Structure 1
Amino acid sequence: MKLKFLLLITFLALICCKREQKILSSDWTVISKRLEYKEENNTLLVKSGNYTYNFKKNQTPLKKIILLNASLVGYISELNAENLIIGVSSPEYIYSQKIQNLIRTGKIQNVGSDQKYDVEKIIALKPDAIFTNHIASFDNTYQLLKNNGIQVIFLDEYMEQNPLEKTAYIKLFGKLFGKDKEAETKYEGIKKNYNELKQLALKAKQKPVVLANEMYGDVWYLPGGKTSLANYIADANAQYVLKNNTEEKAVTMSFEDVFSKSAGVQYWINAGNHVSKKEMLSINPFYAKLDVFNKGKIYGVAGRERQKANDFFESGVVRSDLVLKDDIKIFHPELLPDYQLTYMKELE
């Protein structure tokens, strides 16, 4: 009787294990709270924000795509998948020289701008999918494209505030392009670099105070304390002026509000793409009242810029390790004596 009971327990345990394995095999791959995907019944399911997409087995890997946002270009370039792109909007904002060459030779078409897309051209190109951030004013255009059998995929990578989660979007592109292993390898490499740099930053003896962004008109859009910029500063072992703030978006402030928080600030980063402090003053003379402007160091994001295109908003979206490395070099130059800044540039 005892033997039968033990056999029954073993049998039930095996069934539970098999069931558990089956459940685990269908688990979602979670990139962030905004993005996840899984394969089920020969279908790739993707959840992005409020949208769900289904890709049948014969629909992937994608072979022809259109990008309507330059911020998504970095993922494609990192996977060496530029040959999949058949159309882009606002090509003047794309930094990649390889993509610019493909545009020049006609292999990638200009399909309009964020003011107006060339819907007829897009339909004629017959892309497997279009990738873009959702813009409500274009809902009618999106619907027209969908009515013509074109998959429009909305991604919210610009809303991600965890740097490595933003990097992890490369996994979805890898899955859609049949480059799963390559995407995973790229992500793990960037993650490893990022975490090693984060540990290196902890060796710094001082923790400088940091200000960020700039004024537009009479408003200073200061990144909230839970934004990606604030997370980069924290991971670089520095103190952000709004470190105790809980917003994941920019906080609007007057110059007086920022001035009241600027005492002791040693570094000012992401100060636009200005070429000099003199240029900054010509736009806003109030900056001269800030101690950091006169005694500290100011850095803009003009390290890799070509006319209207800026690589900080392209490859920098994926290469969170290089963005962090720039910040550490700025705040703790002694930790990276031989490193030259990638995206940032000091204003003289």
Structure 2
Amino acid sequence: MKSRILLLFILFILTSCKREPKISSSDWTLLSNRLQYKEQNGILQLKSGNFTYDFKSDQMPFKKIILLNASMAGYITELGAEDLIAGVSSPEYIYSDKIQNLLKEGEILNVGNEQKYEVEKIISLKPDAIFTNYVASFDNTYQLLKNNGIKIIFLDEYMEQKPLERTAYIKLFGKLLGKNKEAETKYQEVEKNYKELKQLALQAKTRPLVLANIMYGDVWYLPGGNTSTVNYISDANAEYILKNNTEEKSIPMSFEEVFAKSGNVQYWVNAGNHVSKKEMLSMNPLYSKLDVFSKGKIYVITGKEIQKANDFFESGVVRSDLVLKDYIKIFHPELLPDYQLTYMKELQ
């Protein structure tokens, strides 16, 4: 049940957040509307959401870091920098084999979870920096760590709605961890693949109608029309059920409202972490009323999942090209006849 609640929380925040106003300056390297940095007079200045940071050249690259969010592990593993991690929170949600092995060997320590961080252990590790999403309820903990000379860098990668902008955060990690070349190479690879896949999708002869997400209680939280999920659907040359919506947040709807719009739906994606259609109906019998349930195809994001750890929320944060490739394979299988799904799985 806890994993289902976490999945709901992750899917909700991925589709429910607004962007900050764009900061434009020729001096800044803009990775997204909410993340930019520049180097001047031996200082790296970083703006991340509402937070600003200055790092002197002799403070970088960081040699010892702590991650308080599993999604950030994806950037570290893509850079091959797992050995720089001194601690992580909630390790049961981390998919990376190497990080799990380092945990078993005691090279990486468990520093708590989303309920309570082990502050004394964090302080004893003396990290150069902690990377995390900002959570207001942890303000006292953050301040205590800062009082002990620990840098806390708040990043909002989960709020990015454009897939390649979320991937671009790898450039910042490369800058801070002394992995500039590796980060730029990886980003260019993903960007090139993504753009080529987007062009490939345009060759499809059909543009199927798509439904996304599932119900929680009596509410169906559909992704808004400008969310990352819908950007993937659009770039895969498919049509979303709320194609005219312009929100960057989730849209709560009743089953009846979704039913009225779903008559021609051929594909249902991001259908939670259900293991079968039978199990899906046991959670909500109303699904059987949808034509797509019996006549279409349903996909869940559990293709790379081990117990509580799901690689879609880890490496998938960086590998937007592979996520797009999955969607194209789902909607237009004839375009990728030899490709096997990476993060998605058809529900039987």
DSSP-derived class of the 1:279 partner: helix
Q: Which position in structure 2 is the counterpart of 1:186?
A: 186
CA contact (8 A) 1:209 1:264 kept: yes
| Amino acid in the other structure paired with 2:272 | G
Q: Which position in structure 2 is the counterpart of 1:167?
A: 167
Deviation at 1:242, TM superposition (A): 1.2
Deviation at 1:26, TM superposition (A): 7.3
Q: Using the alignment, how far apart are the partners of 1:281 and 1:38 within structure 2?
A: 52
Q: Using the alignment, how far apart are the partners of 2:338 and 2:275 within structure 1?
A: 24
What are the residue-to-residue correspondences of 1:299-318 with 2, within 5 Å? 299-318=299-318
CA contact (8 A) 1:163 1:320 kept: yes
Count of residue pairs the alignment pairs up? 324
| Structure with larger Rg | 1
Deviation at 1:243, TM superposition (A): 1.5
TM-score, L = length of structure 2: 0.92
What are the residue-to-residue correspondences of 1:125-274 with 2, within 5 Å? 125-274=125-274
DSSP-derived class of the 1:205 partner: coil
Deviation at 1:319, TM superposition (A): 0.2
DSSP-derived class of the 2:266 partner: strand
Q: Using the alignment, how far apart are the partners of 1:26 and 1:44 within structure 2?
A: 15
Q: Do structure 1's residue 327 and structure 2's residue 324 form an aligned pair?
A: no
Q: Which position in structure 2 is the counterpart of 1:115?
A: 115
| Amino acid in the other structure paired with 2:111 | V
Q: Using the alignment, how far apart are the partners of 1:26 and 1:251 within structure 2?
A: 36
Which structure 1 segments of 5+ residues have no match? 1-24
Q: Which position in structure 2 is the counterpart of 1:14?
A: none
What are the residue-to-residue correspondences of 1:75-114 with 2, within 5 Å? 75-114=75-114
**CA deviation map 1:294-348 (0-9, x unaligned):** 1000000010000000000000000000000000000000000000000000000
CA contact (8 A) 1:26 1:38 kept: no
DSSP-derived class of the 2:31 partner: strand
Q: Using the alignment, how far apart are the partners of 2:255 and 2:136 within structure 1?
A: 32
**CA deviation map 1:23-68 (0-9, x unaligned):** xx97111000100001111011110000001111111000000000
Q: Which position in structure 1 is the counterpart of 2:32?
A: 32
Q: 1:105 to 1:273 in 2, by over 3 A?
A: same
Q: Using the alignment, how far apart are the partners of 1:251 and 1:134 within structure 2?
A: 24
Deviation at 1:140, TM superposition (A): 0.8
| Amino acid in the other structure paired with 2:114 | D
Which runs of 4 or more aligned residues in structure 1 lie more than 3 Å from their structure 2 counterparts after TM superposition?
none
Q: Which position in structure 2 is the counterpart of 1:6?
A: none
Q: Which position in structure 2 is the counterpart of 1:61?
A: 61
Compare relative contact order (CA 8 Å, sep 6+) and give the higher one, 1 or 2: 2
Deviation at 1:182, TM superposition (A): 1.1
Q: Give me the identity figure in percent.
A: 77
Q: Using the alignment, how far apart are the partners of 1:136 and 1:257 within structure 2?
A: 34
**CA deviation map 1:267-299 (0-9, x unaligned):** 000001111111100000000000000100000
C-alpha RMSD of matched pairs (Å): 0.9
